[in-house]
Structure 1
Amino acid sequence: MALHNRKYLKENRRELRGSLTPAEAELWKYLKEGQMEGRKFRRQHSVANYILDFYCPSERLAIELDGQIHQNSNSEYFDEKRDQALESLGINVLRFENKEIFQNLEAVLQEISSSFSR
């Protein structure tokens, strides 16, 4: 079975790409078209059974933006398990709160850039 972009998640991925959150749309402006040090990012890319907000294949890097729904114990537990599963596949996960995109975008971009292998 394919690990990336499984067919049964195709419609979900398409819907999510068409309805980015404001924070996702803002960050995408800086990630798309190789603007981040030439790295290609994909929006709403699936790995295993998870749909990632952003994924950089060359760096094996997932970026997740968390809104208020992620600020409860059930969501935090799920996010932790998801991150562990992705890390077991060799994928590094960076998480940011939505508000960080609007309040400190430069620091977010710097952290993403710092995670790149040189």
Structure 2
Amino acid sequence: MSDSHNDNLHKGSVGKLFEYARDLRKNETVAEDLLWRNLRSRKLDGLKFRRQHPLDKFIADFYCHEKRLVIEVDGSVHNSRDAKESDEGRTYELKELGIMVLRFRNEEVLNDMSLVLKKIREFVENMPDKK
């Protein structure tokens, strides 16, 4: 893999972020595990997703490089005003890098996976082609 491909894939992420991502993969939440079982191995419309993927200074719960799409699964810790502001800032910064963000609450993933997958499909279908 060339360095330029790697930079594009990770948007310049370095060092400790990769170690932290590895730790997150080992300690995923129940909701993340459930969604991963439905995304891994190109199960969703042939799209390749990576989990706990470093991007710039962030770690995305799930990332599809082909579509430049991040999927985040948010637990109750994301309900505070500070967390919401942080999430909005993160979404803005990723959008500036050409990456769209789609968010789901843990409860959505745990209680209605078919709806979550349908929303992801619809979102991808409606994305502008970035070729």
Please indicate the TM-score interval, normalised by the length of the shorter structure. Answer: over 0.9
The 3-state SS of whatever aligns with 1:36 is coil
Report the Cα distance in structure 2 between the residues aligned to 1:46 and 1:4, rounded to whole angstroms: 9
- 1:36 aligns with 44
Q: Is 1:26–2:34 an aligned residue pair?
A: yes
- 1:70 aligns with 78
Report the Cα distance in structure 2 between the residues aligned to 1:70 and 1:4, rounded to whole angstroms: 26
Look up the equivalent residue of 1:49 and give its one-letter code.
K
The 3-state SS of whatever aligns with 1:59 is coil
Report the Cα distance in structure 1 between the residues aligned to 2:67 and 2:29, rounded to whole angstroms: 24
Look up the equivalent residue of 2:101 and give its one-letter code.
V
Q: Which has the larger radius of gyration?
A: 2
Percent sequence identity over aligned pairs: 39
- 2:112 aligns with 104
Segments of structure 2 that go 5 or more residues without pairing to the other structure are: 1-6
What stretches of structure 1 move > 2 A for 4+ residues in a row? 4-8
- 1:91 aligns with 99
Report the Cα distance in structure 2 between the residues aligned to 1:5 and 1:109, rounded to whole angstroms: 28
Q: Is 1:115–2:123 an aligned residue pair?
A: yes
8 Å Cα contact 1:45/1:55 also seen in 2: yes
- Report the TM-score when normalising by structure 2: 0.85
Deviations 1:65-118 (A, max 9, x none): 100100000000000000000011111100000000111111110011112248
Deviations 1:19-77 (A, max 9, x none): 11000000001000000000000000011100000000001000001001000000000
Look up the equivalent residue of 1:9 and give its one-letter code.
L
8 Å Cα contact 1:44/1:54 also seen in 2: yes
Question: Residue 10 of structure 1: CA displacement?
Answer: 1.3
